């Protein structure tokens, strides 16, 4: 997962406004209580950050995988 795919996944799941709040304010125990923004900025794998964020926020497993990709061109 690229950073842009991470950003798209956050918006798709949480919405633009709340997504900014979630990535800025929610701490992730898996990353030493860093926020998602902090973890991605320091070079953590965006996929791992995404999955940790989903875990903390209670996103159902069926909505955690395959997100963040652009829709295929037709």
pLDDT of residue 71: 62
Residues 13-43 pLDDT 10s: 999 999 999 999 999 999 999 999 999 999 9
Check pLDDT > 70 for residue 73. Answer: no
- Shortest CA distance to 3 belongs to which of 52, 32, 36, 25? 36
């Amino acid at each position: 997962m690229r950073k842009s795919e991470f950003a798209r996944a956050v918006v798709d799941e949480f919405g633009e406004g709340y997504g900014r709040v979630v990535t800025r304010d929610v701490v992730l125990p898996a990353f030493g209580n860093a926020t998602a923004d902090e973890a991605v900025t320091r070079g953590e794998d965006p996929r791992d950050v995404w999955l940790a964020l989903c875990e903390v926020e209670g996103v159902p497993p069926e909505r955690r995988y395959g997100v963040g990709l652009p829709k295929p061109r037709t």
